[in-house]
Amino acid sequence: MGHKQGLRFELAPTPAQAALMSRHAGLSRLVENFCLETVRKRWAQRKAEETYGISGADLTRVPWTAPALEKLWRAEHPQSFPWFNESKLSSRIPKEACRARAAGFANYLRSKQGKRKGDRVGFPTWRKRKHGTRFRYDGDRAKPLNTHGVRLPAIGIVATRENMSWLTERMTSGRVRVLGATIRERAGRWWISFQVEADRDEINQRRRAAANAPMCGIDLGLKTFAVIHNSDGSRQEIRSPAPLRAVQRALKRANRKLSKTQEASKNREKARRRVGRLHLRVADRRRDFLHKTTTELTRTKSAVAVETLNVKGMVKNRRLSRALSDAGFAEFVRQLEYKAEWYGCRIWKADRWFPSSKQCAQCDRLNHSLALADREWKCTGCGAIHDRDDNAAANLLRGLLAERTTTPT
């Protein structure tokens, strides 16, 4: 045990079950907003009391933690939300909603104090229906009963459209333990995502990259998603399906129809779902491509060298932002990292300022005048003619090999 991962399966609920799941999602949203409003009010009260000279234990306490928020919800809902006890909704949903809000508050406070890595995190905001329909169960309260059915508390046994034998067999033998489950709706379809702790040692060993597998350098780009330079001298190119670009015309047409419908009309709901289905298709195609690509790379390469890209800064270029977002470079590197740990592949990430494109792979001379539009260039030192992407991939591989030889064993 010890490997945490997520497994997602599509549900096939009846209309009554779908309505119940929508009500649970609404309950989760309501509790999250209740927690947010409570913290806002008490924090404002505390700040006001400090200006009055009140200090110490006399100040109003702000419920930042999940237990404190849950305690307030239990005390408040009989008066403010009496329908909760009568609706027969699961009591686990408010508990998980309080945890979600507490995690948001903790991230904000740690970021404000400089204790959290990455960009500054803002204060949590009001949750709306348009932000997504989802709710969560803790532990194994929501779990598979068989290969095509899951039990959801207060909802019942919901069928799945996919076979869950991989999960159920390992749960029976004790190789997988369910830690939680999130139910989510998108474009009228429902999914359940299990967070599990799995014993993957046997799987990882069986699918481990061969000891004599080649190493490679990968240059990511927009024209060709990845140019791969292998240590055995071979070269590969991976083309992206560009899922957003493929549906751009249909999406533009669907959004135009949506903008012309009346608020709260049936036609508006139909148009909204059409737009949602198109976005879902884009996300599914991108996810499928990235998972297949990263799995193949980590199972066939002994080491992979990639660039450290400033994707957030790159998307500020308005001419390239759509294509960059469509490619999913950050998600590609993230998947490479955790799958490499599974299959014994080593990931080497070049420094952000590593001159992979500007450096000649033959003589190491730098071409400071290289522009983004230059796809080929000639080295003024040795006269070698380079394809921009091939040269960058070769330099990344050279950086990996150099780092490997200098690192003490």
Per-residue model confidence as pLDDT tens digits over 11-29:
999 999 999 999 999 999 9
What distance in Å separates the CA atoms of residue 185 and residue 192, rounded to the nearest whole number?
Answer: 9
Question: If you average pLDDT over every residue of the chain, what do you get?
Answer: 94
What is the model's pLDDT at position 1?
Answer: 53
Which two tokens mark 40?
Answer: 């806002």
* Residue 403's pLDDT band (cuts 50, 70, 90): confident
Query: What is the C-alpha separation between 205 and 102, in angstroms, rounded?
Result: 38
pLDDT band at 326 (very low <50, low <70, confident <90, very high): very high
Are residues 12 and 161 in contact, defined by beta-carbon separation less than 8 angstroms?
A: yes
**Residue of higher predicted confidence among 342 and 407:** 342
199: which DSSP letter? Answer: -
Q: Do 204 and 295 meet the contact criterion of CB atoms below 8 Å apart? A: no
How far apart CA 121 and CA 108 sit, in angstroms, is 5
- In this model, does residue 307 exceed pLDDT 80? yes
| Average pLDDT value for residue range 26-46 | 97
Domain ranges of the chain: 3-198, 205-406
Q: What is the pLDDT of residues 354-382, one digit of tens each?
A: 999 999 999 999 998 999 889 899 998 89
Would you state the pLDDT for residue 354? 93
Q: What is the pLDDT of residues 80-129, one digit of tens each?
A: 999 998 888 999 999 999 999 999 999 999 999 999 988 899 999 999 98
* Mean pLDDT value across residues 134-146: 95
Residue pair 216/231 in contact by the 8 Å Cβ criterion: yes
- Reading the block at residue 246, the tokens are 């493929």
Would you place residue 235 in the very low, low, confident or very high pLDDT band (cuts 50, 70, 90)? very high
Burial class of residue 6 (count of CB atoms within 10 Å of its CB; 0-12, 13-18, 19+): exposed
Q: Which CATH class is domain 205-406?
A: alpha beta
Name residues whose C-beta falls within 8 Å of residue 278's C-beta, 6 or more positions apart in sequence: 247, 250, 251, 254
DSSP code at position 58: G
Q: Is residue 407 scored above 70 in pLDDT? A: no
- Output the pTM of the full model: 0.91
Could you give the CA distance from residue 138 to residue 143 in angstroms, rounded to a whole number?
10
Instruction: Let me know the angle formed at the C-alpha of 377 by 395 and 324, rounded to the nearest 5 degrees.
Output: 65
More confident call, 228 vs 86: 228
Q: Give CA–CA dist 397/312, Å, rounded.
A: 25
Contact predicate 347/218, CB 8 Å: no
Report the alpha-carbon distance of residue 137 to residue 89 in Å, rounded: 12
Q: pLDDT grade, residue 211 (50/70/90)?
A: confident
Mean pLDDT of 304-317: 91
β-pairing, 176-186 with 133-138? Answer: antiparallel
H helix or E strand, kind and range, residue 135: strand 133-138
